[in-house]
Amino acid sequence: MNISFRINGTNKNVDIKPGELLYDVLKSIGISSVKKACETSSCGVCTVLLDGRPIASCSYLAAKAHGHEITTIEGVSREAEILGSLMNSEGAIQCGFCTPGFMLTVIAMKRELQNPDEQAIKNYLVSNLCRCSGYEGQLRAVKLYMEVPQ
Ligand code: FES
Ligand code: FES
């Protein structure tokens, strides 16, 4: 079947197989930033934004993306540069494997929530796991990023 969607501001038509997952379709069209680990919607490494909301692309049927807007880290370069710089300075990036999915979730949170407290931040980020940096540096960077004017 053929589906169409917008990816990082560009219209795309893609032939997909029944049951094909969004992660695999994104890879097939050259989106290299999206990673995959658990494949069970548990780690958040494969996060992309669908109409601005974080989803796990490893478990999302590509057919359901028809007619929607998908954003990967390539599509939010200005925000990613600011957030990445804060994460670097707070020691929140080590291997970097989780970083694109984590940053997309933080960017979506900043767009969605007004002045979230620490618990609200933790709740929003609960599905994005990191296996090497720990979470304190990430939390410091996220709090600083939430203060940056939109
Ligand atoms: S690889 Fe998709 S949530 Fe872990
Ligand atoms: S920085 Fe390595 S998994 Fe998060």
CATH topology of domain 76-147: DNA polymerase; domain 1 (1.10.150)
Taking alpha carbons only, the member of 100, 92, 99 closest to residue 134 is: 92
Question: 34-51 as b/e, with b when 16 or more CB fall inside 10 Å?
Answer: bbbbeeeeebbbbbbbbe
| Per-residue pLDDT, 25 | 98
- 3-class secondary structure, 89: helix
**Does the global pTM surpass 0.95?**
yes
Q: Mean pLDDT in each 10-residue stretch from start to end of the chain (150 residues)?
A: 97 97 98 97 98 98 98 98 97 95 98 97 97 92 95
**Helix (H) or strand (E) run with residue 120 in it:** helix 118-124
Which residues line the pocket of ligand 2, CB cutoff 6 A? 93-98, 130-133
**How high is the pLDDT of residue 133?**
83
The CA-to-CA distance between both ends of the chain, in Å, stands at: 39
Give the separation between CA 149 and CA 147, rounded to whole angstroms.
6
* Angle, CA 129 vertex, CA 123 and CA 135 arms, to 5°: 75
Strand partners, 6: 11, 69
∠ CA(56), CA(102), CA(27), 5° rounding?
50
Pairing of strands 10-15, 47-50: unpaired
Containing H/E element for 14?
strand 10-15
Distance 43 CA to ligand 2 centre (A): 11
Could you say which of 3.40.630.30, 3.10.20.30, 3.10.20.740, 2.40.160.10 is the CATH number of the domain covering 2-74? 3.10.20.30
Please state, in angstroms and rounded to a whole number, the distance separating the CA atoms of residues 45 and 39: 9
**39 Cα–ligand 1 center, Å:** 4
Q: What is the pLDDT of residue 86?
A: 98
Show me where the domains of the chain are located. 2-74, 76-147
Residue 74 in contact with ligand 1 by CB distance below 6 A: no
- Distance CA(72)–CA(47), nearest Å, equals 8
**CB of 13 within 8 A of CB of 4?**
yes
The pLDDT of residue 134 is 83
* Residue 150 pLDDT: 80
> In this structure, which residue's CA is closest to atom 2 in ligand 2?
95
